[in-house]
Amino acid sequence: MHFRPLAAAALLTLPLTAVAQTPPPAPADVPLIAPTQATVPQPVPGPADPALRITPAVNAKGGKIHMLPATLETTQWGWFDNAQPPVLTVKPGDSIALETMMHSHNQVVPGTTIEQIKKTRTDYPGRGPHTLTGPIFIDGAEPGDVLKVTLNKIVPRAYATNFNVPGMFGEFPKEFPDGQVKYFYLDLVKMETEFLPGVFVPLKPFPGTLGVARAEAGRYSSVPPGKYAGNLDINEFTEGASIYIPVFVKGGLLWTGDSHAGQGNGEVNLTAMETAFRELNLSVDLIKGQKLEWPRLETKTHWITIGYDKDLNVAYDLLQKETVKFLVETKRAPDEAAATKMMVTNWDCRVSEVVNVVKGTYCMTAKTAGKPSEKLPTAETPKAFVTAASDADLNKAMDTASMAMLNLLVEKKGLSRLDSYGLISVAMDCRVGPPAGAAKTVVCQTPKSLWRGSKTAAR
pLDDT tens digits, one per residue of 120-166: 999 999 999 999 999 999 999 999 999 999 999 999 999 999 999 99
CA–CA distance, 387 with 420 (Å, rounded to integer): 14
Regarding whether 225 and 94 lie in a shared domain, the answer is yes
Domain that holds residue 308: 302-366
Report the C-alpha gap between 446 and 430 in whole angstroms.
Answer: 9
pTM over 0.85: yes
Same domain, 125 and 192: yes
Residue 180 and residue 67 share a domain: yes
In the structure, what pLDDT confidence band is assigned to residue 42 with cuts at 50, 70 and 90?
low
The tally of domains found in the chain comes to 3
Q: Is 164 strand, coil or helix? A: strand
Does 263 fall in a domain? yes
Query: For all residues of the chain together, what is the average pLDDT?
Result: 90
pLDDT of residue 40: 63
pLDDT in tens, 296-355: 999 999 999 999 999 999 999 999 999 999 999 999 999 999 999 999 999 999 999 999
Share of the chain above pLDDT 90, in %: 84
Question: Distance between CA 144 and CA 248 in Å, rounded?
Answer: 7
SS3 of residue 13 by DSSP: coil
pLDDT of the residue at 39: 58
Tens digits of per-residue pLDDT, 233-286?
A: 999 999 999 999 999 999 999 999 999 999 999 999 999 999 999 999 999 999
Last residue of a domain, one of 241, 276, 298: 298
Domain boundary among 298, 317, 350: 298
Least confident of 2-11, 70-79, 99-108: 2-11
Which of 149, 144, 150 is closest to 288 using CA atoms? Answer: 144
Q: Indicate whether 18 belongs to any domain.
A: no
Are residues 329 and 263 part of one domain? no
Amino acid type, 418: L
**65: in domain:** yes
pLDDT at 25 > cutoff 90? no
**pLDDT for residue 111 is more than 50:** yes
- Domain shared by 182 and 310, yes or no: no
Does 248 lie in the same domain as 145? Answer: yes
Whole-number pLDDT of residue 374: 83
- 298, 325, 345 - which closes a domain: 298
The single-letter code of the amino acid at 161 is T
The three-class DSSP label of residue 51 is helix
Q: State the Cα–Cα distance between residues 272 and 266, nearest whole angstrom.
A: 9
Q: Would you say 358 and 385 are in contact if contact means Cβ atoms under 8 Å apart?
A: no
Within a domain: 116: yes
Q: Are residues 284 and 325 in the same domain?
A: no
DSSP secondary structure string for all residues of 246-267: E--STT--EEEEEEES---BB-
| Res. 46 pLDDT band, cuts 50 70 90 | confident
- The residues near 376 (Cβ < 8 Å, ≥ 6 apart) are 388, 431, 433, 441, 443
Pick the closest to residue 156 from 74, 282, 237, 274 (CA basis).
274
Residue of higher predicted confidence among 45 and 81: 81
Q: Is residue 410 part of a domain?
A: yes
CB 162 within 8 A of CB 422: yes
Task: Report how far residue 422's alpha carbon sits from residue 424's, in angstroms, rounded to the nearest whole number.
Answer: 6
**22 in a domain, yes or no?**
no
CATH of residue 333? 3.10.28.20
